[in-house]
Structure 1
């Protein structure tokens, strides 16, 4: 199976999942007409999404899975969802990284997408608790030089800690490392974001590590696609008021944007015109 075919399948499954969540369920025959693919292709897509634990197959179609607040999907399960949105968000967020600055990247598939755009920003110092993010910089540096570090290459610090299902390193070792550092900007991925719960995660240890990240950063930039809005994990680790900028995608509904505007100074909707005053990021 070619890479192009794989990408098309991932995009198709992301569309199916979005439709299931939006409508509360879909039928196979509806999907075949909308996507212009065969019945067998749709059923394979539903099988794949069911294996990831994000939908439940029923006779003739599928319905969403009501996730428990403690459920934490693995990195691979999340990486195939909302691909276009994550790419748009990554491009918009990368523009906020200043050459020569010290930045932090938390774990997650959106920060992983962002890392691919940050490798070209010169002289960054990058602190991350994501094994995947660190690998992006390592692979890029290995590919572009045969004799040591290339000029302008990032200095990458990977915290220690206990590995989560999403390939983040958390716990006391990670917390201690982050506590002693100071970042110009934190790019933070989240499991869920809401007015009531703020930023949340199903993993208690990850919540504490994220708290340390937030406390050590002068600016906090949350990178989260529209499906994260309204999701609540077991443990909250920051209030919306502690976030300087939310970078999301055009799928965020108008009513959600209005709610967010009441609590955040800066909302960046990737792919749309920047909001007035967005460039004047607040200082902590």
Structure 2
């Protein structure tokens, strides 16, 4: 791209758009190094290009509009993104779980991180369509010496279904299982979240399964790092009105936090650093 330190904003965005089209996608960290500008500047440029319909934001970057809505990264690829943010979110979301409750965990790498923080909560009933989440509880809670179920260990219900690239089980079998159940709290990972599209995913079958999850829950808690804000997948499955709480990380810009607080009952910003005491 050449030396772009003194480029006008419009010129910089034109270069970004050219890279997206030429390479089929770009990552934020690549653009910050190449353009020699801040992470915030790149993300702002991508937000503007996305609003213009020139690119579509995906995890950690942007892709051409034609490719974005149906692009579904695999579990391993997504696991490597925003690791510290996911740990912060998992720590905060775990506070919503009470001993003896019935919860649901959808597929995704953030719910996977949350599951690892819930293995010691006594007498949980966990319904999940995530093979990875079920494995977390299975590995952490071995059988008792007598060969039975260890007292206090979680009861895990893994739905059937067809496996997606992100190791979720979806489709009619999963939908039927979820329809017959009721949860105190649903922890929902998402591909994208926005004011206009609500919660969305690139997988049509996963969207339908997530709709059933939302309908079966008394409380819906979305766990999503800041890169998911403004991202739109192929299929929407819930509006923001159907979400009780969003747990995200401190990378979410203040302007986005204000938008969310206007629409949701509760926003939890995990890992946020407070400067000095607060006085009521």
Return the TM-score normalized by structure 2: 0.76
> Where do 4+ consecutive residues of structure 1 move more than 4 Å?
28-31
Aligned to 1:234: 234
State the distance in 2 between where 1:240 and 1:198 align: 5
* Closer/same/farther in 2, CA of residues 161 and 241 from structure 1, 3 Å limit: same
Aligned to 1:21: 28
Structure 1 unpaired stretches of 5+: 1-18, 32-52, 56-62, 275-284
- Check the 8 A contact 2:186/2:220 in 1, yes or no: yes
* Closer/same/farther in 2, CA of residues 95 and 54 from structure 1, 3 Å limit: closer
Corresponding pairs, count: 227
Report whether the alignment pairs 1:183 with 2:154: no
Please report the RMSD computed on the Cα atoms of aligned residues, expressed in angstroms. Answer: 2.5
How far 1:262 moved relative to its partner?
1.3
- Check the 8 A contact 2:221/2:244 in 1, yes or no: yes
Aligned to 2:89: 89
- Check the 8 A contact 2:59/2:227 in 1, yes or no: no
State the distance in 2 between where 1:228 and 1:182 align: 27
Residues 53-93 of structure 1: per-residue CA shift (max 9 Å, x gap): 978xxxxxxx8544510000000000010000000000100
Secondary structure at the aligned position of 2:96 is classed as coil
How far 1:119 moved relative to its partner?
0.4
State the distance in 2 between where 1:151 and 1:260 align: 41
State the distance in 1 between where 2:118 and 2:85 align: 17
Report whether the alignment pairs 1:118 with 2:125: no
How far 1:20 moved relative to its partner?
4.2
Structure 2 unpaired stretches of 5+: 1-25, 38-57, 275-280
State the distance in 1 between where 2:144 and 2:253 align: 45
How far 1:29 moved relative to its partner?
11
- Check the 8 A contact 1:54/1:65 in 2, yes or no: no
State the distance in 1 between where 2:77 and 2:209 align: 22
